[in-house]
């Protein structure tokens, strides 16, 4: 095919380089089309470095909302989540926690063992105990984000799918 070995090597090298670099040149801004409108497909970079608070959790058809003021107690900082590119951290009820996480193709997500402080819990929200929250996080298997809500999919103690629904923290300067 090629009489010149140098030309053959050069063409082969360019072909291999093109195969390696072509996927990197594809657009990272994905759009989903349907019925003439386009909707953004979100990636993990859309929800990292934002403080999130657990609004509710859903198991089957049961939806449990977190009441942040009970019996005169303020639980406004409880069940928070903050992610950077490698780690998660936040507050349980009342302990601080952190762990590593990883994502996979699509919306797969896995969170490592939760490391936490060991403060005694005297009062915590009735709807969800801190150990349940940490267990839910350790069993996360995928995420979903729609621009407003971050949903982490996990399972409860009976292996029923449970969805943790987080909302962005709105500071007083934002409102």
How large a percentage of the chain has pLDDT more than 70?
Answer: 73
For residue 8, the model assigns a pLDDT of 63
The SS3 of residue 8 is helix
Q: State pTM to two decimals.
A: 0.74
Residue 114: pLDDT band (50, 70, 90) is very high
pLDDT of amino acid 73: 74
Handedness of CA 116, 126, 109, 151 (dihedral sign): negative
27-69 pLDDT, tens digit each: 333 434 344 456 778 888 888 899 999 999 999 999 999 988 7
List, in order of start, the domains of the chain with CATH numbers: 5-40 (no CATH), 44-168 (2.40.128.270)
Task: Give the DSSP per-residue string, 46-115.
Answer: GTTT-EEEEEEEEETTEEEE--SEETTEE-TTSSEEEE-SSEEEEE-SS-EEEEEEEE-STTBEEE-PPE
């Amino acid at each position: 095919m090629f009489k010149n070995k140098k030309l053959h090597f050069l063409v082969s090298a360019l072909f291999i380089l093109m195969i390696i670099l072509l996927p990197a040149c594809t657009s990272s801004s994905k759009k989903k089309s349907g019925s003439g409108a386009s909707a953004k497909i979100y990636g993990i970079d859309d929800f990292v470095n934002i403080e999130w608070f657990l609004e509710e959790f859903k198991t089957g058809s049961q939806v449990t909302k977190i009441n942040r003021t009970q019996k005169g107690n303020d639980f406004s900082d409880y069940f928070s989540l903050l992610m950077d590119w490698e780690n998660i951290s936040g507050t349980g009820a009342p302990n601080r926690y952190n762990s590593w996480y990883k994502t996979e193709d699509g919306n797969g997500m896995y969170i490592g063992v939760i490391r936490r402080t060991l403060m005694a819990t005297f009062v915590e929200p009735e709807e969800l105990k801190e150990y349940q929250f940490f267990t839910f996080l350790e069993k996360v298997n995928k995420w979903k984000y729609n621009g407003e809500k971050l949903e982490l999919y996990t399972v409860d103690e009976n292996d029923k799918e449970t969805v943790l629904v987080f909302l962005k923290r709105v500071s007083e300067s934002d409102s």
